[in-house]
């Protein structure tokens, strides 16, 4: 009888207990939550459209339309390039720290006068992020950033050329919404200043002193290492001057 209990009933009871424990664990932690954690442990965010916790380069072009005092129509174009790399993230990539070098070149031409303006920004930014997993197919990632670097500003006023390299710094933050892994929508605010860039023609100061930038960016991950972004930026700077920029970016993840 004892042998029968050991060989037959005990294995059956053990199997039932294990199955009951597994069912209870599934009830406490839904399948999607377990999947999210396991994907994060395996580097699952590499397949998503998020811009955080990754190493990548991006490049693209931009067009701008400025509203500057004393001038009529002000249009221009430019280019952008960014190198970003992750400095730290926890085991599940819930929070981390990134570094980035966002390079931007802008050219602006005025229609009233023969004036051309040029600027090239080359700062280094450090950002911190924290992921909030709202549900299976929706996450929010608030972030903050701070940085400093240089700004080359120049103006050509009918053959009279003036230029300068200035120190610039900036602070900002925002939130990224990750939807179904393949789509990301980012809202961001940034304040930047180049204290010694107060020169130019009329009210147009090419350094964009005391610049407030509000941006909206949408990203689609269309391949394993590739994503494309469309971005709108609104600049507000000194003397009530404003500018609107449209940017296209292509991202390659390293």
Whether the predicted model's global pTM rises above the 0.85 cut: no
The segments of the chain whose pLDDT lies below 70 read: 1-44, 68-73, 111-113, 196-209, 239
Q: Please tell me the distance from the alpha carbon of residue 243 to that of residue 216, in angstroms, as a whole number.
A: 15
What pLDDT is recorded for position 8?
A: 56
DSSP string, the chain: -HHHIIIIIHHHHHHHHHHHHHHHHHHHS-HHHHHHHHHHHTTGGGGS---SS--EEEEEEEEEEEE-TT-S-EEEEEEEEEEEEEEEE-TTSSEEEEEEEEEEEEEEEESSSSEEEEEEEEEEEEEEEE-EEEETTEEEEEEEEEEEEEEEEEEEETTEEEEEEEEEEEEEEEEEEEETTTEEEEEEEEEEE-TT---EETTEETT-TTEEEEEEEEEEE-SSSEEEEEEEEEEEEGGGEEEEEEEEEEEEE-
The yes or no reply on domain 44-253 and CATH 2.40.128.130 is: yes
Residue 146's alpha-carbon distances to 67, 77, 140, in angstroms, are 28, 26, 20
Cα→Cα distances 217→43, 214, 232, Å: 24, 10, 6
CA distances from 159 to 113, 114, 153, 186 (A): 12, 9, 16, 41
Residues 234, 215 contacting (CB under 8 angstroms): yes
The pLDDT score that the predictor gives to residue 75 is 82
């Amino acid at each position: 009888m004892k042998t029968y209990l050991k060989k037959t009933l005990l294995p059956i009871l053990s199997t039932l207990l294990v199955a009951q424990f597994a069912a209870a664990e599934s009830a406490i932690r839904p399948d999607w939550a377990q999947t999210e954690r396991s994907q994060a442990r395996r580097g699952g965010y590499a397949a998503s459209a998020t811009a955080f916790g990754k190493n990548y380069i991006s490049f693209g072009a931009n067009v701008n339309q400025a509203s500057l005092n004393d001038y009529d129509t002000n249009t221009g174009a430019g280019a952008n390039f960014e190198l970003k790399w992750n400095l730290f993230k926890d085991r599940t990539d819930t929070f981390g720290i990134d570094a980035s070098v966002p390079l931007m070149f802008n050219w602006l031409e005025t229609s009233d006068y023969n004036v051309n303006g040029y600027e090239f920004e080359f700062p280094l930014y450090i950002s911190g992020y924290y992921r909030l997993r709202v549900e299976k197919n929706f996450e929010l990632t608030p972030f903050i950033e701070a940085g400093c670097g240089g700004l080359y500003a120049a103006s050509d006023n009918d053959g009279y050329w003036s230029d300068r390299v200035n120190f610039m710094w900036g602070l900002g933050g925002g939130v990224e919404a990750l939807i179904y892994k393949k789509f990301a929508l980012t809202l961001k605010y940034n304040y930047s200043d180049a204290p010694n860039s107060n020169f130019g023609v009329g009210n147009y100061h090419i350094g964009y002193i005391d610049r407030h930038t509000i941006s909206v960016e949408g990203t689609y991950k269309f391949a394993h290492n590739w994503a494309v972004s469309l971005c709108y930026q609104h600049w507000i700077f000194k003397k009530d001057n404003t500018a609107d920029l449209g940017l296209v970016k292509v991202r390659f993840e390293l």
